[in-house]
């Protein structure tokens, strides 16, 4: 089955590259299964990941707690304890740290599993597995999924196994929940915004994993301003944050990934904003006008009838527009990504999958 003209199975491969879990054996069974919709895929990845996490032990964090106790624990809150005494209550208000499973990481996972259990497109056998796993989250509270502070979630060495799980939760939450009315659900739809983010991370980490001798990064590009204008006024200019840059010696390929339902305008024209953006990136990066910097608008092939594939020479730099066909075996996707590198950096480019 397909999603937006993409094999559901290929979304799994995109996820594995995007979130760097290629060598985690607990997910290898997912690769061989067939899924009729993306939320069955998400549910299965979450099941496999949580099963392994339960065996390892749920992530614990120190949480600040405040509680009325009969004996001293941690620090005494003098003010609140005096209130207790005035009310003839024989309690001390204590403030202390407690190492607990009831933290935001586990709260998000539990709440997402509850969402998937209520989703009609998720198979019944997977809902049963999710319900069984929820028994291990009995000490974890559910959280309001509309108001998660994602910026407070930090992936470190002691919780690296949560990276894919939390990103799956993110896609489920923003694919299924309405933001207008608490507790209301809409029909399953993996939004263009989310799939665009996944597409970008997939391409970046695919090249990061597979290329040798070519630097893969995503730097900011500075505006190439004349010295008399290079002052505090430049702070008003928008940032040029690249998606992907491949570099070897003086050669650079700036890639801007795009996932749209319809990549061209109603007049079958390229988006002027996209073209101006990649041209601006290239010209401001090629400050010495060597022509060694090139740009690529990389679109994901969707249900549109026309799939852009052009090469232009613009003011001494090559600007290309290509479409990556996701509606094929994953080996074919890899071959197309590898060909982009070969065309820009030569046949001698070292790619693991070739």
What is the domain-level CATH number for residue 204?
A: 3.40.1350
> Predicted confidence band at 223 (pLDDT cuts at 50, 70, 90)?
confident
Same domain, 148 and 222: no
Same domain, 87 and 159: no
> Predicted confidence band at 254 (pLDDT cuts at 50, 70, 90)?
very high
* Spatial separation of the C-alpha atoms in residues 30 and 48, rounded to whole Å: 8
Question: 162, 190, 218 — which closes off a domain?
Answer: 190
Same domain, 120 and 256: no
Q: 164: part of which helix (H) or strand (E)?
A: helix 162-176
Q: Which DSSP category does 191 fall into?
A: -
Same domain, 31 and 141: yes
Same domain, 229 and 293: yes
* Spatial separation of the C-alpha atoms in residues 40 and 168, rounded to whole Å: 12
Q: Which range has the top average pLDDT, 6-10, 21-25, 86-90?
A: 86-90
Same domain, 263 and 142: no
* Spatial separation of the C-alpha atoms in residues 49 and 105, rounded to whole Å: 14
Task: Extract the tokens encoding 203.
Answer: 């391409």
User: CA nearest 25: which of 49, 44, 6, 1?
Assistant: 49
Q: Residue 228 has what pLDDT?
A: 60
Position 180 pLDDT exceeds 70: no
Same domain, 47 and 108: yes
- What percentage of the chain has pLDDT greater than the value 90? 36
* Spatial separation of the C-alpha atoms in residues 59 and 156, rounded to whole Å: 11
- Domain membership of residue 171 as a residue range: 2-59+102-190
Tokens 């003011």 label which residue?
Answer: 315
- Report pTM: 0.69
Question: 141, 167, 190 — which closes off a domain?
Answer: 190
Calculate the alpha carbon distances from 40 to 30, 46, 173, 176, 351 in Å.
11, 10, 14, 13, 33
Position 129 pLDDT exceeds 60: yes
> Predicted confidence band at 225 (pLDDT cuts at 50, 70, 90)?
confident
Same domain, 89 and 170: no
Whether residue 233 contacts residue 272, with contact meaning beta carbons closer than 8 Å, is answered with no
* Spatial separation of the C-alpha atoms in residues 305 and 299, rounded to whole Å: 13
> Predicted confidence band at 158 (pLDDT cuts at 50, 70, 90)?
confident
Average pLDDT over residues 127-133: 96
Task: Extract the tokens encoding 154.
Answer: 């930090």
Same domain, 33 and 55: yes
Whether residue 292 contacts residue 286, with contact meaning beta carbons closer than 8 Å, is answered with yes
Dihedral of the CA atoms 48, 186, 131, 182 (nearest 10)?
A: 120
Same domain, 85 and 221: no
Average pLDDT over residues 152-179: 78
> Predicted confidence band at 219 (pLDDT cuts at 50, 70, 90)?
very high
- In total, the chain counts a number of residues equal to 354
Task: Extract the tokens encoding 198.
Answer: 């996944």
Handedness of CA 135, 141, 142, 145 (dihedral sign): negative
Same domain, 36 and 92: no
Q: Residue 211 has what pLDDT?
A: 92
Q: Is 199 helix (H, G, I), strand (E, B) or coil?
A: helix
Q: How many domains does the chain have?
A: 3
Q: Residue 32 has what pLDDT?
A: 63
Question: 143, 175, 190 — which closes off a domain?
Answer: 190
Same domain, 314 and 221: yes
């Amino acid at each position: 089955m397909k999603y937006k003209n993409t094999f559901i199975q290929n979304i799994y491969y995109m996820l594995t590259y995007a979130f760097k879990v290629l060598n985690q054996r607990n997910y290898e069974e997912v690769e061989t299964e067939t899924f009729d919709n993306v939320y069955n895929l998400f549910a299965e990845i979450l099941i496999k990941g949580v099963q392994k996490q339960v065996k390892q032990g749920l992530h614990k964090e120190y949480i600040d707690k405040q509680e009325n106790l009969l004996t001293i624990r941690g620090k005494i809150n003098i003010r609140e304890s005096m209130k207790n005494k005035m009310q003839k209550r024989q309690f001390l208000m204590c403030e202390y740290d407690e190492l607990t499973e009831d933290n935001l990481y586990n709260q998000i996972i539990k709440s997402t599993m509850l969402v998937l259990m209520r989703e009609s497109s998720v198979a019944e056998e997977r809902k049963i597995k999710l319900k069984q796993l929820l028994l291990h989250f009995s000490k974890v509270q559910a959280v309001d999924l509309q108001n998660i502070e994602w910026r407070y979630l930090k992936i470190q060495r002691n919780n690296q196994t949560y990276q894919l799980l939390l990103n799956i939760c993110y896609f489920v939450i923003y694919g299924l929940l309405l933001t207008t009315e608490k507790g209301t659900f809409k029909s399953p739809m993996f939004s263009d915004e989310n799939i665009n983010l996944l597409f970008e991370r997939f391409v970046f980490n695919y090249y990061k994993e597979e290329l040798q001798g070519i630097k893969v990064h995503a730097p900011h590009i500075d505006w190439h301003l004349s010295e008399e204008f290079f002052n505090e006024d430049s702070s008003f200019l928008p940032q040029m944050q690249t998606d992907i840059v491949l570099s070897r010696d003086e050669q650079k390929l700036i890639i801007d990934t795009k996932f749209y339902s319809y990549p061209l305008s109603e007049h079958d024209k390229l988006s002027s904003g996209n073209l101006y953006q990649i041209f601006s990136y290239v010209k401001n990066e090629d400050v010495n006008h060597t022509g060694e910097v090139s740009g690529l608008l990389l679109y994901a092939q969707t249900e549109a009838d026309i799939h852009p594939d052009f090469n232009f020479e613009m003011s001494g730099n090559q600007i290309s527009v290509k479409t990556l066909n996701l509606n094929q075996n994953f080996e074919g996707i890899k071959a197309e990504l590898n060909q982009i590198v070969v065309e820009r950096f030569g046949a001698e480019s070292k790619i693991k999958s070739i």
